[in-house]
Amino acid sequence: MFVTRFLRPILTGVLLIAAGPALAINVERVKTPGGLQAWLVQDNSNPIVTMRFAFRGGAALDPKGKVGLANLVASTMDEGAGSLDSQSFQKTLEDKAIRMRFDAGLDNFGGQLQTLVRNQDKAFDLLRLALNAPRFDTEPVERIRSQILVGLKQDEESPHSIAGKAMREALYGGHPYGRPADGIPDSVKAITADDLHAFVSQRLTRDTLVIGVVGDITPAKLAELLDATFGTLPAQGTDWRLPKIRANTDGRTIVINKDVPQSAILFADQGLLRDDPDFYAAYVMNHVLGGGGFTSRLYGEVREKRGLAYSISSGLNPRRASATTVGAAGTANARVHETLNVVKAEWHRMAENGVTNDELKDAKTYLTGAYPLQFTGSMRIARMLVGIQLAELGIDYVKSRNAFINAVSRDDIARVAKKLLDANRLVTVVVGRPEGLPATR
């Protein structure tokens, strides 16, 4: 039973990986005879191999009426493949301590595999089966579908989930980003086994695949395993690109009445895409505003000074086709209004004045100094290798990243803050019984 002091700030999808001279992480490119490519960090300190991979294109591509398709695929691919039914497949994974899972984000379809070296052939072979010959038998599909439906039902009662749904819809309306990745009950019920099979053959293809591996394995052995695992996937799939869209930040305050003692609050404004030249300026700016743990402005003003909330933070959310700056807090109903006023004042202050010299200096030493902390576990590193590839930042990114952070100036931040942050444009969602807060919807 733990009560921890601080909940992690939301930094959905923010990809900032850093490395400096002290970091002995060496990323090498592995090219397989079969034409696949992976990034590898060799590490023989433990007899473990960890792999993360992703196919471009995620739940945002789910067909209308079948929203939740990618998520159902991800949840059932490891429920039987080839000659192994669901229980045989799961039992083999568990008995060999092989960790395999798939996940469907809005932009990408991901997977991961972790195994002891001595079981690596078996582990990659099971992954090959899951990718190439998933069974989607009725029992497991219906079982998992019922679990997803229960999850969706529970989301209908969770203040944070309700707020998230309202925010998505406010920002993106009918665009795929306005829909939940795990679907809605009716669409989840409509998905058939044929849909699942079609998804696998059309979307899990080599042209969109990126791979990151960490662990006790040689490039030659890895190449062999990769070809065996991914080599038989179709060469090309359907188009995964989405048209760019600007989030509809129109200054609305949406209040959803719910009988809970604490209101869930979300707020959102414009952000920058990952490939925007000003992205790093936005990143440093957000760190000062609400991203910096115990030291951000929002933390200081909302929590430290006034005790308005236990958790308060902001983060950049750069998706492939649209970007926002988002924040969240939880506050007693009676103090929601005050909390929002403080948030808006901080939004305005940043937009008007940017950051101080000291703030910029502290943000840079934190962001660059904390880079090795992101390399403290195999899966974390593998995820970063995949993230860098998806964002097309280049294999040297690990070494060059801190220079991008250090190059950010106060003027850059002032310019970006003015562009992104506008307290009058901020969209706010409150779920609870906030007192004295007029809704503008």
Asked if residue 309 binds another protein (CB under 8 A), the reply is: yes
Residue selected from 304, 352, 392, 435 as contacting another protein according to rule CB under 8 A: 304
Q: What is the DSSP letter of 323?
A: E
Please say which residue, 219 or 372, places its beta carbon nearer to another protein: 372
Amino acid at 429: V
Token pair of 182 as six digits: 């795990």
Please say which residue, 63 or 307, places its beta carbon nearer to another protein: 307
Which residues inside 19-78 make contact with another protein, applying CB under 8 A?
22-25, 43, 45-48, 50
Q: HSE-up of 386 (CA within 13 Å, CB side)?
A: 26
Asked if residue 403 binds another protein (CB under 8 A), the reply is: no
Distance CA 201, CA 198 (A): 5
Asked if residue 175 binds another protein (CB under 8 A), the reply is: no
Distance CA 216, CA 40 (A): 10
Distance CA 272, CA 324 (A): 7
- Would strands 37-42 and 323-332 be described as parallel, antiparallel, or unpaired? unpaired
Q: Candidates 56-64, 125-133, 194-202, 297-305 — which segment interacts with another protein by CB under 8 A?
A: 297-305
Please say which residue, 2 or 174, places its beta carbon nearer to another protein: 2
Geometric angle at alpha carbon 373, from 209 and 99, rounded to 5°: 45
Asked if residue 6 binds another protein (CB under 8 A), the reply is: yes
Residue 184: which of 61, 60, 63, 68 has the closest Cα? 68
Distance CA 74, CA 77 (A): 6
Asked if residue 362 binds another protein (CB under 8 A), the reply is: yes
Which residues inside 193-252 make contact with another protein, applying CB under 8 A?
none
Asked if residue 357 binds another protein (CB under 8 A), the reply is: no
Asked if residue 435 binds another protein (CB under 8 A), the reply is: no
Residue selected from 12, 26, 83, 146 as contacting another protein according to rule CB under 8 A: 146
Token pair of 316 as six digits: 């950049």
Q: Which helix (H) or strand (E) holds 284?
A: helix 279-286
Which residues inside 247-266 make contact with another protein, applying CB under 8 A?
259-262, 264
| Helix extents (H) in 83-213 | 86-95, 120-132, 138-155, 159-172, 185-190, 193-203
State the nearest-atom distance from the C-beta of 221 to another protein, in Å: 18
Please say which residue, 171 or 360, places its beta carbon nearer to another protein: 360
Residue selected from 173, 185, 377, 394 as contacting another protein according to rule CB under 8 A: 377
Please say which residue, 191 or 323, places its beta carbon nearer to another protein: 191
State the nearest-atom distance from the C-beta of 345 to another protein, in Å: 17
Asked if residue 3 binds another protein (CB under 8 A), the reply is: yes
